[in-house]
Amino acid sequence: MEAAIVREKLDQAPAILAEHGIDVWLTLVRETLLTRDPSLDLVAGTYCAWQSAFLVSRSGERVAIVGRHDATSVEDLDAYDEVVPYDESIRPGLRGTIERLAPESIALNYSTSDPAADGLTHGLWLVLREALEGTPYVDRVASSAPVVNSLRGRKSASELARIRAAVDETEAILALVGAELRPGLEETEIAALFDAEVSRRGLGYAWEPSHCPAVNAGPDKDIGHSAPSELTTQRGQLLHCDFGVEKDGYCSDLQRVWYLLDDGESEPPLDIRTAWEAVWAAVDSGAAALRPGALGHEVDAAARARLVSAGFPEPKYALGHQLGRSAHDGGTILGPRWDRYGSSPLGTVEEGNVFTLEYGAPVPGRGYVGLEEDVLVTSDGIEWLSTPQRDLWLVG
Amino acid sequence: MEAAIVREKLDQAPAILAEHGIDVWLTLVRETLLTRDPSLDLVAGTYCAWQSAFLVSRSGERVAIVGRHDATSVEDLDAYDEVVPYDESIRPGLRGTIERLAPESIALNYSTSDPAADGLTHGLWLVLREALEGTPYVDRVASSAPVVNSLRGRKSASELARIRAAVDETEAILALVGAELRPGLEETEIAALFDAEVSRRGLGYAWEPSHCPAVNAGPDKDIGHSAPSELTTQRGQLLHCDFGVEKDGYCSDLQRVWYLLDDGESEPPLDIRTAWEAVWAAVDSGAAALRPGALGHEVDAAARARLVSAGFPEPKYALGHQLGRSAHDGGTILGPRWDRYGSSPLGTVEEGNVFTLEYGAPVPGRGYVGLEEDVLVTSDGIEWLSTPQRDLWLVG
């Protein structure tokens, strides 16, 4: 199955290289138990002990140069025209292959902005420069960020099926946990309900298990990446969870909110409803702007302006990030042009991208209204992959 | 528990920085779901979404500069004198901290040879150079490889306890699997026996689960990193397994060999015994050379010469690698001076290092004799962490 996805991604690659004017894309890795270039999953997905090079050309040629003990795994992918095994040094095979392909431009996996396109370590960058020393190719390198953004971002059919399956599992778990909620539960107890289902279903976590799910009961929690604590659910307060699973290598990422009705209440109070509607209005503004050709920061700006004009604090984070093999899948983000995002908000939305849409607002004395949905960019807009939580979930 | 290990490692750091003449060691990471510098586990062990810098000085000062949402996790470690949170850009805090510390030398995590010290991506290298532009510090950087080799390699008390626990689990599983062996079992069935125990005990795998355990039945298997196949155990042949677990973040890595007695046999035939003894003689030669101050390639050479002089093929791999958080833990290796190992075989063995000792020989028509033990380097030699397999295990 993994080999099938690698072949799908490699089949996508030549057209994307042509679009971005790149002749050869080179992924160079080593000891992938210690450092793992995220692009390795696109071009091979196997473990590599020794220095290993995976080259894909604009004309469709695919060559892997790998240590002898790693060669069988790569051959088994049935994805490479040529697998060149070596014993002592990768240099002759690597240099010879590049000289034969004679590219005008070689894309390497480095980027100041996009972590998904920044898997080449600085040490391997130096190794490569030395291997190509004295050839014209040492000066023909460029960042692979545009290539990786398109290749990783345009989900193939199998990838989409896996993301959908991960979202479905997540929604099923959220429903089961929701049925158990009552006042007086500790955040850690609620996290344990999630954990039991993840384990029973044989799933992985979409991010660090200590913070997945994030469980935030009431107003006294510092929202962000802090772990479930001893805070408890209370009547008249909100419970907010941020949760995602990894299933067959692909992730989901959803936020859901419950309100614990106070004595005599049959619906949430006005302060919570106002925040809920403002957050949804902002997310819907972003969703309406999300289509192929839009720039990341434009989509965020539509949502951001709406929330701020409703009198809520400006979120300190982006409206959305891509989702795939990783919960934070890199490439174009739907975010403001802040330095920490580099050029990622300047990227263009493409058909086949999967994004989260997430925004939130604190409600003083109540807790945090935080929404997060997963959507697919279609030819003219979006498809919701998750079932949007249009109403607060009530705990009686 | 993880925080306790981070504090142990940070307590070790100042003396190691002084030994290697480094004023400040800087670990710079970003979106650690996608790329994860292996040194992050030494200095923080937490997830970092935005660009995050962890600085340790020779005088013992520790400063973390992290995104606001990551700050709580870092503060919870109780390991940093100062945690500087930022919202939009890491640059002012990073540049200001380095200017205040005013180091003559800054060690960064890049290395052409050591993957454990090569976690800085090339993109983040460029980000750092830009952040320090116009200061003298941009030209005061050096590879952290000597620092990381010592810090990662000299296991702390808690780290050693975890490695011992991983080895114990591995030996218990090998005993259970051994009791189930009989002629006619497929490699995949044997792997399933391992998998069931790993799952029942709540352990992880020391390397890619598809190749852990490696199971090699008889002589028709390409030894290396190929997955369990439909080959079956047969009388008069060997069964070789390479297996390790991850327990509480630390790994084991052992190879074990069984011989399936043929009709009428009560001990292995001469060809197998000869290979077994030659491999052990080589491993023991290496073990005798393994002590603080020895160079990695010297230890390997002692074993290599012994095996070759006994008439067996020269192994295409190193005698040993370090073991810890990763099954291949980087730093000095006990290997020959081949280009693919870079300068790793030139490193010096240190007290507190944990190494594998592994060598093997094919026996035509029988299979593969491959031994691998885990050892701790003491002040004057080694302690076996695994119970050495001094005799072939026989299946009746």
Distance, CA of A34 to CA of A55 (rounded, Å): 22
| Mean per-residue pLDDT over chain A, rounded | 96
Which of B122, B316, B327 lies closest to A121 in CB terms?
B122
What is the predicted pLDDT for the residue at A223?
A: 67
Distance, CA of A37 to CA of A214 (rounded, Å): 27
Q: Tell whether B117 is within 8 A of chain A (Cβ).
A: yes
Distance, CA of A123 to CA of B157 (rounded, Å): 31
Question: Nearest Cα to A216, choosing from A197, A192, A179, A190?
Answer: A190
**Residue B365 burial by Cβ neighbours in a 10 Å radius (0-12, 13-18, 19+):** exposed
Question: How do the domains of chain B map onto residue ranges?
Answer: 2-153, 157-395
Q: What is the pLDDT of residues A362-378, one digit of tens each?
A: 999 999 999 999 999 99
Q: What is the pLDDT of residues B128-160, one digit of tens each?
A: 999 999 999 999 999 999 999 999 999 999 999
Confidence at A233, pLDDT banded by 50, 70, 90: very high
Q: What is the pLDDT of residues A144-177, one digit of tens each?
A: 999 999 999 999 999 999 999 999 999 999 999 9
Which of A50, A115, A340 lies closest to B88 in CB terms?
A340
Report CB contact under 8 Å: B33, A122: no
Report CB contact under 8 Å: B72, A211: no
**Chain B residues lying within 8 Å of A115, measured CB to CB:** 30-31, 34-35, 121, 123
CA distance A116 to chain B (A): 6
Distance, CA of B366 to CA of A372 (rounded, Å): 58
Confidence at A340, pLDDT banded by 50, 70, 90: confident
CATH of domain B2-153: 3.40.350.10
Nearest residue in chain A measured CA to CA from B221: A72
- How far is the CA of A382 from the CAs of A167, A287, A349, A356, B39, in angstroms? 16, 7, 11, 11, 40
Query: What 8-state DSSP symbol labels residue B242?
Result: E
Report CB contact under 8 Å: A211, B73: yes
Q: What is the pLDDT of residues B236-286, one digit of tens each?
A: 999 999 999 999 999 999 999 999 999 999 999 999 999 999 999 999 999
Q: Do domains B2-153 and B157-395 have the same CATH topology?
A: no
Which of A38, A88, A90 lies closest to B34 in CB terms?
A38
Report CB contact under 8 Å: A211, B47: yes
Nearest residue in chain A measured CA to CA from B251: A33
Question: Nearest Cα to B297, choosing from B320, B328, B324, B281?
Answer: B320
What is the predicted pLDDT for the residue at B223?
A: 67
**Chain B residues lying within 8 Å of A209, measured CB to CB:** none
What is the predicted pLDDT for the residue at B59?
A: 96
Q: Which residues of chain B have pLDDT under 50?
A: none
Q: What's phi and psi for B320, nearest 5 deg?
A: -160, 155
Residue type for position A278: A
Q: What's phi and psi for A64, nearest 5 deg?
A: -120, 130
What is the predicted pLDDT for the residue at B224?
A: 62
Instruction: Classify domain B157-395 at the CATH class level.
Output: alpha beta
Distance, CA of A373 to CA of A351 (rounded, Å): 18
Instruction: Please report the ipTM that was assigned to this predicted complex.
Output: 0.93
Q: Tell whether B230 is within 8 A of chain A (Cβ).
A: no
CA distance B285 to chain A (A): 24
A vs B, Cβ pairs < 8 A, gives 187
Q: Tell whether A220 is within 8 A of chain B (Cβ).
A: no
pTM comes to: 0.93
Candidates A35, A207, A321: best to mutate against B (most CBs of B within 10 A) is A35
What is the predicted pLDDT for the residue at B88?
A: 84
Mean pLDDT of A215-229: 83
Distance, CA of B157 to CA of B162 (rounded, Å): 9
Which of B31, B68, B120 lies closest to A328 in CB terms?
B31
DSSP for A46-60 reads S---S-EEEEEETTS
Q: What is the pLDDT of residues A38-64, one digit of tens each?
A: 999 999 999 999 999 999 999 999 999
